[in-house]
Amino acid sequence: MANTTISNALAAYANAVKSMGAGDAVSGADAAGGDTFSDLLKKAATESVKTGDASEKQSLMATAGKANVTDVVEAVSSAEVTLQAVTAVRDRVVGAYQEILRMPI
Protein backbone atom coordinates (compact mmCIF):
# COMPACT_ATOMS: atom_id res chain seq x y z
CA MET A 1 0.00 0.00 0.00
CA ALA A 2 2.84 2.44 0.81
CA ASN A 3 4.48 1.66 -2.53
CA THR A 4 1.22 2.49 -4.34
CA THR A 5 0.91 5.77 -2.46
CA ILE A 6 4.47 6.74 -3.38
CA SER A 7 3.87 5.84 -7.03
CA ASN A 8 0.71 7.95 -7.04
CA ALA A 9 2.57 10.88 -5.52
CA LEU A 10 5.36 10.61 -8.10
CA ALA A 11 2.82 10.44 -10.93
CA ALA A 12 1.03 13.51 -9.57
CA TYR A 13 4.36 15.34 -9.36
CA ALA A 14 5.20 14.45 -12.96
CA ASN A 15 1.75 15.56 -14.16
CA ALA A 16 2.06 18.87 -12.31
CA VAL A 17 5.45 19.53 -13.85
CA LYS A 18 4.17 18.70 -17.34
CA SER A 19 1.18 21.00 -16.90
CA MET A 20 3.56 23.81 -15.97
CA GLY A 21 5.43 23.32 -19.25
CA ALA A 22 8.63 22.00 -17.69
CA GLY A 23 8.06 18.36 -18.61
CA ASP A 24 11.21 18.05 -20.72
CA ALA A 25 13.46 19.22 -17.90
CA VAL A 26 12.12 16.68 -15.42
CA SER A 27 10.76 13.73 -17.39
CA GLY A 28 13.97 12.73 -19.18
CA ALA A 29 17.42 12.05 -17.82
CA ASP A 30 19.64 15.06 -17.18
CA ALA A 31 22.38 16.22 -19.55
CA ALA A 32 25.02 14.04 -17.87
CA GLY A 33 22.92 10.93 -18.54
CA GLY A 34 22.00 10.41 -14.88
CA ASP A 35 18.69 9.77 -13.22
CA THR A 36 16.10 12.50 -12.77
CA PHE A 37 15.04 13.64 -9.32
CA SER A 38 11.80 11.69 -9.54
CA ASP A 39 13.75 8.54 -10.51
CA LEU A 40 16.05 8.93 -7.53
CA LEU A 41 13.10 9.57 -5.24
CA LYS A 42 11.27 6.53 -6.55
CA LYS A 43 14.34 4.30 -6.09
CA ALA A 44 14.86 5.54 -2.54
CA ALA A 45 11.21 4.96 -1.68
CA THR A 46 11.29 1.47 -3.17
CA GLU A 47 14.43 0.57 -1.22
CA SER A 48 12.88 1.91 1.97
CA VAL A 49 9.83 -0.27 1.50
CA LYS A 50 12.02 -3.31 0.78
CA THR A 51 13.99 -2.70 3.97
CA GLY A 52 10.80 -2.51 6.01
CA ASP A 53 9.49 -5.68 4.40
CA ALA A 54 12.73 -7.54 5.15
CA SER A 55 12.59 -6.41 8.77
CA GLU A 56 8.99 -7.55 9.08
CA LYS A 57 9.82 -10.92 7.52
CA GLN A 58 12.72 -11.47 9.94
CA SER A 59 10.51 -10.52 12.88
CA LEU A 60 7.83 -12.98 11.80
CA MET A 61 10.44 -15.71 11.37
CA ALA A 62 11.75 -14.97 14.87
CA THR A 63 8.24 -15.23 16.27
CA ALA A 64 7.96 -18.67 14.69
CA GLY A 65 11.38 -19.61 16.11
CA LYS A 66 12.99 -19.96 12.67
CA ALA A 67 15.35 -16.96 12.65
CA ASN A 68 18.63 -16.09 14.27
CA VAL A 69 18.36 -13.30 16.85
CA THR A 70 21.33 -11.49 15.32
CA ASP A 71 19.65 -11.38 11.91
CA VAL A 72 16.47 -10.01 13.46
CA VAL A 73 18.34 -7.28 15.33
CA GLU A 74 20.24 -6.29 12.16
CA ALA A 75 17.04 -6.15 10.11
CA VAL A 76 15.17 -4.10 12.70
CA SER A 77 18.12 -1.73 13.13
CA SER A 78 18.34 -1.26 9.37
CA ALA A 79 14.63 -0.51 9.19
CA GLU A 80 14.97 1.99 12.03
CA VAL A 81 17.82 3.84 10.31
CA THR A 82 15.86 3.86 7.04
CA LEU A 83 12.81 5.28 8.79
CA GLN A 84 14.91 8.01 10.41
CA ALA A 85 16.41 8.92 7.02
CA VAL A 86 12.99 9.03 5.34
CA THR A 87 11.65 11.20 8.15
CA ALA A 88 14.61 13.59 7.87
CA VAL A 89 14.15 13.93 4.11
CA ARG A 90 10.41 14.49 4.54
CA ASP A 91 11.07 17.22 7.11
CA ARG A 92 13.53 18.93 4.75
CA VAL A 93 11.08 18.79 1.85
CA VAL A 94 8.27 20.23 3.97
CA GLY A 95 10.60 22.97 5.21
CA ALA A 96 11.66 23.84 1.66
CA TYR A 97 8.04 23.92 0.54
CA GLN A 98 7.13 26.25 3.39
CA GLU A 99 10.00 28.56 2.45
CA ILE A 100 8.78 28.64 -1.14
CA LEU A 101 5.30 29.57 0.08
CA ARG A 102 6.78 32.49 2.05
CA MET A 103 8.56 33.92 -1.01
CA PRO A 104 7.10 37.13 -2.38
CA ILE A 105 5.75 36.88 -5.89
Spans of all domains in the chain: 35-105
Distance CA 105, CA 84 (A): 34
DSSP string, 22-88: -HHHHHS--TTS---HHHHHHHHHHHHHHHHHHHHHHHHHHHTT-S-HHHHHHHHHHHHHHHHHHHH
pLDDT 10s digits, 55-88:
999 999 999 989 889 999 999 999 999 999 999 9
The model carries a pTM of: 0.59
Does residue 3 carry a pLDDT above 60? Answer: no
Which pLDDT score is estimated for 92? Answer: 93
